[in-house]
Amino acid sequence: MPFDGISAADTPIGAAAHRASQILHPSAATSLPRPSERRIITVANQKGGVGKTTTTVNLAAALAVQGLTVLVVDLDPQGNASTALGVPHYSGVASSYEVLLGEVKAADAVQQSPHSERLFCIPATIDLAGAEIELVSMVARENRLKNALTVAALGDRDYDYIIIDCPPSLGLLTVNALVAAKEVLIPIQCEYYALEGVGQLLRNIELVQSHLNPELHVSTVLLTMYDGRTKLADQVAAEVRSHFGDAVLRSVIPRSVKVSEAPGYGMTVLDYDPGSRGAMSYLDAGRELAARGHHKNQGNE
C-alpha cells in the first residue's frame, strides 16, 4: 500500500514497472510523431565493442514500441542484429548479400521481427563476408544499397525509419551504408580510448560527403556503456560533448548485464527485460532521436 501522498509509480520499482507496462502495452499517449519523410540512419564506428549493433537493434525496438515502423538493414556478416531481432539468417535465406548484388529486391528480403508488428529486418548471412570482394568489380559499387532501398524496391510498406548496422571496418559495405543514408549515428563508449578511430571515421564521412553523398551528416552521437560510479565515464562524456556539441543525445546508455544478455535469447533488451535501466535508456534515446530529428536533418555541418 503506498504511503500518504506517494503513488506506487513514485518509487524506483514502481516507476520501472510503469515504464515496463508502457513498453508492453503502448498506447496512443506514448506514440511518437512520424517524421515528415523517411529517415535513413547509418550506425557506424570502426572500433569494435562500442555497442554499435546493440544500439541499432534497441533504438529500432524503442521507436517501434512507440508507434513507428522501422526497418533494420544488417550489413555485418556476423549477423548479430539479425539474431537480436529474432529473424532467421542462415545461408540460403534472402539477405542483404543478395540485395546488394541485385539478385533479389529489398522487399523480398524483409522479415518481420517476431517481437513487434512494426519492426522489420533485412538479415545478414555469412555470405556477406565475400561481398567486399565481389562489389569491387561492379558498376556503381558504392551506390548498390542506396539503389536497393528506393521506395519502389521496398514495396508497399511505409517505413518511418531505416537503420543500417555496419561492420566494424571502413570497407565497401560501410561506404554503401554511408551513401544510402542522410544521417550517421555514432555510438561512443564511456571508456579509455573512446575517441580512438572516430577521427578516421569522420574523415571517411567527409570523403563520402565530397564525392558521393553531399547530404550525409553526423546527426547523432550516443554515449554507451556509461558507469556513473567512475570519474572516467564523466570525463569521457564531457570530452565527447565538447567535441560533438548538440549532436550528443542527453540520454546515455548505462553499462548493463541485461543489455548484454538479451541478444543471446534472440531479443532486444526491451523484450528481454522491459523494466530494466537499459530498456528505459534506449526508450528515452529513441524518443529524443525522434523529437530532435527534423532540425538535425536540415544539416549540421
Cell of 165: 548496422
How far apart are alpha carbons 272 and 253 in whole angstroms?
16
pLDDT at 260: 87
Q: How confident is the model at residue 140 (pLDDT cuts 50, 70, 90)?
A: confident
Q: What is the CA radius of gyration of the chain?
A: 19
Packed helices 277-297 and 12-24: angle between N→C axes, nearest 10 degrees: 60
pLDDT at 45: 87
φ/ψ region of 245 (left if φ > 0, alpha if ψ in -120 to 50, else beta) reads: left
CA 25, 56, 40, 191 dihedral sign is positive
The pLDDT tens digits of the residues spanning 22-48 come to 555 554 446 898 999 999 999 998 776
Q: How confident is the model at residue 20 (pLDDT cuts 50, 70, 90)?
A: low
Contacts of 146 (CB under 8 A, 6+ apart): 176, 179, 180
Cell of 137: 568489380
pLDDT at 55: 94
How far apart are alpha carbons 82 and 94 in whole angstroms?
12
Cα–Cα nearest to 85, from 98, 96, 72: 72
Q: Are strands 119-122 and 111-112 parallel, antiparallel or unpaired?
A: antiparallel
How far apart are alpha carbons 173 and 135 in whole angstroms?
9
Work out the angle at residue 145's Cα, subtended by the Cα atoms of residues 144 and 148, and round it to the nearest 5 degrees.
90
End-to-end CA distance of the chain: 54
pLDDT at 297: 42
The pLDDT tens digits of the residues spanning 105-127 come to 999 999 999 999 999 999 999 99
Res 174 pLDDT > 70: yes
Cell of 96: 542483404
Cα–Cα nearest to 30, from 80, 67, 4, 79: 67
Cα–Cα nearest to 205, from 217, 195, 196: 217
Return the number of other C-beta atoms located less than 10 Å from residue 3's C-beta. 9
How far apart are alpha carbons 204 and 76 in whole angstroms?
18
Q: What is the pTM of this model?
A: 0.88
Return the percentage of the chain with pLDDT > 70, whole number. 86
Res 132 pLDDT > 90: no
What number does CATH give the domain 33-297? 3.40.50.300
Cα–Cα nearest to 112, from 80, 79, 88: 88
3-class secondary-structure state, position 42: strand
pLDDT at 219: 95
How far apart are alpha carbons 211 and 193 in whole angstroms?
30
The pLDDT tens digits of the residues spanning 52-104 come to 899 999 999 999 999 999 999 999 999 999 999 999 998 889 999 999 999 99
The pLDDT tens digits of the residues spanning 216-243 come to 999 999 999 888 888 888 998 999 999 9
Cβ atoms of residues 18 and 9 within 8 Å: yes
How far apart are alpha carbons 162 and 181 in whole angstroms?
9
